[in-house]
Amino acid sequence: MTVPVLTIDGPSGAGKGTVSRAVAKKLGWNYLDSGSIYRSLAIAALKQHVDLENEVGIVDIALAMTLEFDCGDELVVKLNGEDITAQLGLESTGNAAAIIAAFPEVRRVLLQKQKDFKLLPGLVADGRDMGTVVFPDAEYKVFLTASAVERAKRRYKQLIEKGNDANLAQITNEIEERDRRDMERKTAPLAMANDALYIDSSDMTLDAVIEEVVNLIR
């Protein structure tokens, strides 16, 4: 039986995670947060004091690491048996992930780990290259974006609400830098698949985005 796949790609901070989780829940499908795989690898490299620019060293870690995902209401991730959930969402982790994600061999090694999530009754896969590289044959594809300024404002609000210090100008710069890294890398850059539905969420509510995505499938 073929497993239906919905891919949701887009730049960092566009709301892919929230939308993907909500849609997966509504449909009762499995959920792949592919960014968390790159983030976990970055955490492993930092723990082992391997230089993020050392491609061979990063590939060795990727080959050796074991990851366990518990996709309940909150995603819990274990790296080599250790719960790394708390470090997963840090800005520094995302920035480190964007550096190691540029290596073609790293992407190749992580490919199968992502494909393994394709299980019945269906999969919602969130990332940068889900519709272009990992699941090019997916039946449903979305490219979800928002302006850099809007994405920075949302991130700023999230951080402040969690009681963290945050600086809007710095976050905007980091988002623009991450966009540049994701779009300019040679292997599997962030790009919209030809057959994807384009959604700019800058002026949309979360519920409106979720509804538009669910309507694509129903």
Cα distance between residue 105 and residue 132, in whole Å: 17
**Nearest position to ligand DC, beta carbon:** 35
Give the interface segment with ligand DC, choosing from 50-58, 122-130, 146-154, 157-165 (CB under 6 A): 122-130
Binding to ligand DC by CB under 6 A, coded x per residue (else -) over 174-193, reads ----x---x-----------
User: Contact 134/127 with Cβ under 8 angstroms?
Assistant: yes
Question: From CA 189, how far away is CA 3, in angstroms rounded?
Answer: 25
Nearest distance in Å: CB 64, ligand DC: 20
- Of the candidates 199, 195, 193, 196, the residue with the CA atom closest to the CA atom of residue 211: 199
Q: What angle do CA 118, 100, 20 make, to 5 degrees?
A: 35
Residue from 31, 38, 103, 140 in contact with ligand DC (CB under 6 A): 38
- The CB-of-48 to ligand DC minimum distance in angstroms stands at 19
**Mask of contacts with ligand DC, 91-110, x by CB under 6 A?**
---x--xx--x---------
Q: Is residue 35 at the binding interface for ligand DC, with CB under 6 A as the rule?
A: yes
Q: How far is the CB of 1 from ligand DC (least distance, A)?
A: 26
Nearest approach, Cβ of 202 to ligand DC (angstroms)?
A: 18
Cα–Cα distance between 64 and 87 in angstroms, integer? 20
Those residues whose C-beta lies under 8 Å from the C-beta of residue 18, and which sit 6 or more positions away, are: 206
Residue 28, SS3 per DSSP: coil
Q: Alpha-carbon distance 169 to 156, whole Å? A: 10
Give the Cα separation of 8 and 122 in Å (integer): 14
> Considering the complex, what minimum distance in angstroms separates the CB of residue 128 from ligand DC?
4
When asked if residue 122 is in the footprint of ligand DC (CB under 6 A), the reply is no
* Tokens (6 digits) for 133: 């590289």
Distance CA 76, CA 88 (A): 9
Q: Is 145 in the site for ligand DC (CB under 6 A)?
A: no
Which 67-96 residues touch ligand DC, going by CB under 6 A? 94
Asked if 7 touches ligand DC (CB under 6 A), the answer is no
**Nearest to ligand DC of 122, 179 (CB atom):** 179
Per the DSSP assignment, residues forming a β-bridge with 159 are: none
- Give contact residues for ligand DC (rule: CB under 6 A): 12, 34-35, 38-39, 94, 97-98, 101, 127-129, 178, 182
